[in-house]
Amino acid sequence: MKVLKVLALGALLITSSVAKKEALIIGVSDYRNRDLKGIDRDIYNMETLLKDFDFHITKLTDSESLDIIAKLKEYKYLNENDTFGIYIVVMDTIFQTEMVIEVDGKDET
């Protein structure tokens, strides 16, 4: 029984070491003739975080993001042992705010 447990643990470690980690980050900062600066910051922060966890990252920004379906089809090689994450950053409305934490005085939602 002990040998079986060791083999199972070894198989798990081998599987997790070859498992792929893929992430797709999508962000649109050029929106309705406005450059939304927070989008670029959010993309950078998420990319930095995912790199710390050894993810291979693909980014689609602005007009590239219109091709999301084709890009998602490229991940069909992934299997149940792999990890896939998708992070989409979009903002549509900007409200004036008096909150102290908003440096620019606007609450992007």
pLDDT digits (tens, 9 = 90+) for 71-94: 999 999 999 889 999 998 876 555
The answer to whether residue 12 is domain-embedded is no
**Predicted confidence band at 97 (pLDDT cuts at 50, 70, 90)?**
low
d(CA 74, CA 72): 5
The answer to whether residue 90 is domain-embedded is yes
**Predicted confidence band at 61 (pLDDT cuts at 50, 70, 90)?**
confident
Q: pTM score, two decimals?
A: 0.64
Domain of 34 in residue numbering reads as 20-108
pLDDT digits (tens, 9 = 90+) for 11-57: 544 545 578 899 999 988 776 666 667 788 888 989 999 999 889 99
The answer to whether residue 8 is domain-embedded is no
The answer to whether residue 87 is domain-embedded is yes
DSSP assignments along 35-100, one per residue: E-HHHHHHHHHHHHHHHHTT-EEEEEEGGGGGGHHHHHHTTTT--TTSEEEEEEE----EEE---T
The number of folded domains in the chain is: 1
The answer to whether residue 83 is domain-embedded is yes
